[in-house]
């Protein structure tokens, strides 16, 4: 059973910050102990995570940005599950 619900509004965990890193040519997730280089999809998803936007809103936004791409909702939910398990979001 999924811990991530479409009505939830996830936010980055305290002490974590998402930013574009030109030297990495991509988004990174910074935290006190280090840095995680994200792939393009992960950066786009986490870029929409703000504690106010629901998971359903994040999926809708990405679906509008990438029309016709099948399975976006499942991909977003799966990524957010991983991000939650890794303690990147709450």
Q: Which domain holds residue 74?
A: 17-85
Give the separation between CA 18 and CA 38, rounded to whole angstroms.
Answer: 10
**Mean of per-residue pLDDT scores for the chain:** 95
* Number of domains observed in the structure of the chain: 1
Q: What is the pTM of this model?
A: 0.92
pLDDT tens digits along 42-53: 999 999 999 999
What pLDDT sits at residue 75?
Answer: 95
Among residues 79, 81, 84, the alpha carbon closest in space to that of 40 is found at 79
Residue 1: inside a domain, yes or no? no
Residue 2 pLDDT exceeds 90: no
Residue 37 Cα to chain centre, angstroms? 13
| Residue-level pLDDT at 3 | 78
**Res. 1: pLDDT tops 60:** no
Residue 31 lies in a domain: yes
Q: 55-65 and 72-85 helices cross at what angle (nearest 10)? A: 130
CATH number at residue 21: 1.10.10.1150
* Nearest-angstrom CA–CA distance, 46 and 88: 10
Residue 3 lies in a domain: no
């Amino acid at each position: 059973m999924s811990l991530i619900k479409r009505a939830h509004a996830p936010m980055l965990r305290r002490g974590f910050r998402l930013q574009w890193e030109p030297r990495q040519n991509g988004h990174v997730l910074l935290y006190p102990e280090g840095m995680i280089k994200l792939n393009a999809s992960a950066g786009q998803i986490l870029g929409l995570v703000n504690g106010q936007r629901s998971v359903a809103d994040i999926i809708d936004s990405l679906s509008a940005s990438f029309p016709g791409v099948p399975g976006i909702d499942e991909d977003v939910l799966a990524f957010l599950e991983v991000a939650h398990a890794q303690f990147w979001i709450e």
